[in-house]
Structure 1
């Protein structure tokens, strides 16, 4: 048992299966059976800022619920230690449906590493002009390579205010879930084993993890529903 679901998501799953139950009953039964989800500790990867080259305005301004897919993307970098080696993850998330559009893993948080995840997201999902891409003020996002990718699709760069993690809270929340549900209290014998675990988790997160804000739908279910509505 991976202990990834608390009583709220168990309740969503039961209701999706047609059970008419309330949250108090589900909580009581899970407590009686000793079924608890993992509790996540707080630890954040701090990107070295170095010399400031260019800081973008906070265009997003904590508007975490855009009305359509492919209009607001967010990204960040987080750090893991596996088999004595530091591993960095750079995902790109669509803020509308919380889908992870692309991601990269590397042993160094370089500008090439972060740009690769954004480049793949652009190639695979073809956003229209006006796309907002929001990050913190990490040195990778101040670099010209990141800005050029955003400008190549007529996009707009947005950055959190200095030292304010709440300006990119949805991505921070994703990192918290990933580390609690996939990384903490787990042992990985090699970097390759860890990479496979990340691949498996992100696939599960996109396609199987129920989201309360989407009324029990997964990110991909909500995304596909929204895209189909645009077509029809």
Structure 2
């Protein structure tokens, strides 16, 4: 044994310490079983925080550090479902504006070029939609609206707020994708009636599309 330890470069104290630990009963065996049961029962969707909450609801006394450590040791990792991005494009419904922005994402002055999109979130099992308007000059969000439906009124409201807040000079540009909200006459008229120019990217989401607002 001495020869093998010396050949492996393992100190005797280290070897006997780990040997002793292996021979001792696992003091966390019971809670490990509870963790695995919770993880399996919830179809591998729970991370350590939700497993901890589930354990506490069952009467277990534990902290997040312990549950996190044990789940790592047991190789229990929650399955993360990729969120499908909201896509408002539904084909050519009305007017498709030309791409006047042409990837010129850094205007020299504020209140000249704005971009907008619609982002979908799920909160407490419900779909929530966010429509921000960004000034490309400094990437600041100048207006936004939140709603439970991605309607044309919803997107027009955020644009109206942006116009009121920024009071852009004639010739300003609003650039979006080709979502149905942005093809609607109400959106187009709101831009034109306030001295703006409408611009749209290509229908397929790519590097040529709207600057990421998320």
Which is greater in Rg?
A: 2
The residue that corresponds to 2:138 in the other structure is 97
1:122 aligns with 2:163: yes
1:145-175 deviation line (CA, Å, top 9, x unaligned): 11111112211000001113323342x2x31
- Structure 1: tracts of 5 or more residues without a match: 1-40, 176-232
Q: Which has the higher helix share?
A: 1
Q: 2:210 & 2:94 partners in 1: Cα distance?
A: 24
- What's the CA shift for 1:51? 4.8
CA contact (8 A) 2:176 2:210 kept: no
Counterparts of residues 145-164 of structure 1 (less than 5 Å): 145-164=186-205
Q: Structure 1 pair 63/44, CA: closer, same or farther in 2 (3 Å)? A: same
SS in 1 for 2:208: helix
CA contact (8 A) 1:75 1:91 kept: yes
Q: 1:83 & 1:107 partners in 2: Cα distance?
A: 12
- Structure 2: tracts of 5 or more residues without a match: 1-81
1:85 aligns with 2:123: no
TM-score of the superposed pair, with normalisation by structure 2: 0.59
The residue that corresponds to 1:219 in the other structure is none
The residue that corresponds to 1:59 in the other structure is 100
- What's the CA shift for 1:47? 0.8
Structure 1 runs (4+) deviating above 6 angstroms are none
Q: Structure 1 pair 76/127, CA: closer, same or farther in 2 (3 Å)? A: same
CA contact (8 A) 1:88 1:106 kept: yes
CA contact (8 A) 1:74 1:168 kept: no
1:59-117 deviation line (CA, Å, top 9, x unaligned): 00110011000110000001001111000000000001101000000000000000000
1:111 aligns with 2:144: no
TM-score of the superposed pair, with normalisation by structure 1: 0.55
1:72 aligns with 2:117: no
Q: 1:155 & 1:169 partners in 2: Cα distance?
A: 17
CA contact (8 A) 1:136 1:161 kept: yes
Counterparts of residues 12-51 of structure 1 (less than 5 Å): 43-51=84-92
CA contact (8 A) 2:133 2:159 kept: yes
SS in 2 for 1:165: coil
Q: How many pairs align?
A: 133
The residue that corresponds to 1:19 in the other structure is none
Aligned to 1:144, which of 173, 185, 189? 185
